[in-house]
Amino acid sequence: MKKRFPIFTLFALILAFSCVKPEKAEIIQEQVIPGELPDPTLIEVDGTFYASGSSNAWGPYYPIYESKDLKNWTFVDYVFQEKPDWTINSFWAPELFYKDGTFYCYYTARHKDGVSMIGVASTKDIKQGFQDHGVIIKWGEEAIDAFVNQQGDDLYITWKAYGLTKDKPITLLGSKLSRDGLSLAGESFEVLVADADTWERGGIEGQTIMERDGYLYMFYSGNACCGANCDYQVGVARAKTMEGPWEKYAGNPILVGNENWKCPGHGTAVQNDGDWYYLYHAYPSAGFPNLGRSALLSQIAWDEKTGWPKFTANFQAGSPANLASNFMDQFDGNVLKANWRFDVEAGDMIARVADGNLILTADSSAIPAFLGINPEKANAEFQTQVHGKSEALRSLTFYVTKDNSLGLGVQGDSLLLWKLKQGEFQVLEKKPLDFSENLFLKAQMTDGKQFQFSFSSDGQTWDAIGGEIVGDNLAWWSWGMKAGLSVKGDGEGSFGEFEVRY
List, for residues 441-455, the tens digit of each pLDDT value: 999 999 999 999 999
Predicted pLDDT of residue 366: 74
Residues in the chain: 502
Model confidence pLDDT, tens digit, residues 229-252: 999 999 999 999 999 999 999 999
Q: Can you give the pLDDT at residue 196?
A: 87
What is residue 202's predicted lDDT score, i.e. its pLDDT? 86
State the Cα torsion 254-260-66-175 to the nearest 10°: 30
What CA–CA distance (Å, rounded) separates 104 from 155?
A: 13
- Please give the CATH topology (third level) of the domain spanning 327-501: Jelly Rolls (2.60.120)
Q: What are phi and psi of 114, to 5 degrees?
A: 95, -5
Which CATH homologous superfamily contains domain 27-314? Glycosyl hydrolase domain; family 43 (2.115.10.20)
Give the type of residue at 478: S
pLDDT mean over 398-412: 96
- Mean pLDDT, residues 292-310: 96
H helix and E strand count, the chain: 1, 38
Check: CB of residue 176 under 8 Å from CB of residue 166: no
Nearest to 208 by CA among 288, 296, 145, 129: 145
Using only the alpha carbons of the chain, give its radius of gyration. 25
The domain segmentation of the chain, as residue ranges, is 27-314, 327-501
* Burial tier of 234 (Cβ tally within 10 Å: 0-12, 13-18, 19+): buried
How far apart are the C-alpha atoms of 403 and 386, rounded to whole Å?
Answer: 23
SS3 string, 153-200, reads: CEEEEEEEEECCCCCCCCEEEEEEECCCCCCEEEEEEEEEECCCCCHH
Residue 20 is predicted with a pLDDT of 40
**Taking the alpha carbons of 73, 77, 79, 85 in that order, is the dihedral positive or negative?**
positive
Q: pLDDT tens across 196-226, in order?
A: 899 998 899 999 999 999 999 999 999 999 9
Average confidence score pLDDT of the chain: 91
Same fold, 27-314 and 327-501: no
Nearest by Cα to 77 from 108, 105, 57, 56: 105
Q: How far apart are CA 39 and CA 96, in angstroms?
A: 12
**What's the confidence (pLDDT) of residue 16?**
38
